[in-house]
Amino acid sequence: MTQVSTRTALVVPAADARRWPDVVAVPHGPLRARVARLLLRRVARRLAIRVELPGGRLLAPAPVGAEVLRLHDPDAFFSRVGAGGLIGFGESYQAGDWDSPDLVGVLTVLARSLPSLVPARLQHLRRWYAARQPEEQNGTPENARRNIAAHYDLSNELFALFLDPTMTYSSALFEPGPTGEPVARPELLEAAQHRKIDRLLDLAGVGAGTRLLEIGTGWGELALRAAARGADVVTLTLSTEQQALARQRIAAAGHADRVDVRLCDYRAATGEYDAIVSVEMVEAVGRAYWPAYFGVLDRLLAPGGRVALQAITMPHERMLATEATFTWIQKYIFPGGLLPSVEAVEQTLAAHTGLRLAHRQSFGAHYAETLRLWRERFAARGAEVAALGFDQVFRRMWTLYLGYSEAGFRSGYLDVQHLLLTREDEVR
């Protein structure tokens, strides 16, 4: 094998086995580990990735300037990937088995070829080796609050460390540069989040006197800006942490009389609304519950009303290929979620509602930049994250989540859309 300079091993403190059992335990499966090694060698050659092994060796020849995946504990890495696929790949990063000097760079290369990383002749084996989503993550009313709490109730202070002052946890919309690319810098993020919110409110026709329903409160910034326009807002959340802080922020802004922040499942919502807005909520619902989610929009929308959604989407064929697979993101970041395709949204609307997609606009490059800014700020404030009680396994998990997501948008594997829904007989 080609020689390279020797690297210092990554040191990760021992993890808490009660908190991280599948990160601490290395599965035993020599045959699967050998298969994983062969697959990575094939991927490294085909995608020109520089896979560095301890002691100064390369897994396969790689060109100068190739993206680097550095294995600190190859035996553990191949055992985890062989046993758990992409879940094992993520857990091996949490454990410190591998790293990269440019995490997003190497993940972007992998994401561009994600459908073909496993050879076509082995794809049919997916149903035998890919884990299935646990029943306790299904988006029932009983499970939904637990799924939401697992992410959004971690700590308001944690999110405040890397979000901008608006506490908006969804893609921003930046001003375009000379060639159309988003111009994204830390000092521009707050204005870019307001630009995104304003576009959604405009799309839904929100103004003075509008009866607005928001499904998915976040920390209240959209409700605040709608109230400032003179709208009367009901906003729903399942996160007690978000409800408490959103109420504080809304009261401090002087809009408590116009905004009602309810701890309420979307299925239990009542009333009639001129406009409904929901930002990156459908991703958490789960495919089995998309008819119920879109049915609620249909049931609560007044005649002539408009629905404006912001949704992360993926290609339809990839959604179909992976919808039954239990992923690292579902296991550690967003329990119960599934990203829809635009086609799946349209099919659900047609089959279960009188709503139709009247307009859509994608801006995936803006999400890549939003995630970059969050990731850089999270890294810069690592000591403060640790001071909140989040250990290094958590911090590596969060770093991978932000980098993995950014790579998805940079590669084009993921996109984000603004979708306008209107009644079928009102589409224009």
pLDDT tens digits, 367-397: 999 999 999 999 999 999 999 999 999 999 9
Q: Is the pLDDT of residue 114 over 90?
A: no
Q: Which has the closest alpha carbon to 423: 310, 292, 234, 297?
A: 297
Strand order in the sheet with 301-313: 259-263, 232-237, 211-215, 273-279, 301-313, 415-423, 355-362
Dist CA 171 CA 196 (whole Å):
8
Out of 208-222, 239-253, 302-316, 322-336, least confident range: 322-336
Gap between the Cα atoms of 98 and 59, Å rounded: 13
Q: What is the DSSP letter of 117?
A: S
Handedness of CA 398, 284, 118, 91 (dihedral sign): positive
* pLDDT tops 80 at residue 424: no
Q: Position 281: which residue type?
A: M
Q: What pLDDT sits at residue 6?
A: 41
CA-to-CA separations, 332 to 129, 158, 368, in angstroms, rounded: 19, 16, 21
Q: Is 38 left (phi over 0), alpha (psi -120 to 50) or beta?
A: alpha
Beta strands 355-362 and 301-313, pairing class: unpaired
Q: Give yes or no for residue 4 having a pLDDT over 70.
A: no
CA angle, 302 as apex, 297 and 308 as ends, to 5°?
A: 50
pLDDT band for position 322 (50/70/90)?
confident
Classify residue 53 as exposed, middle or buried by CB count within 10 Å of its CB (0-12, 13-18, 19+): middle
**Quick one: pLDDT at residue 142?**
81
Q: Where are the beta strands (DSSP E) in 18-122?
A: 50-53, 57-58, 68-71, 98-99
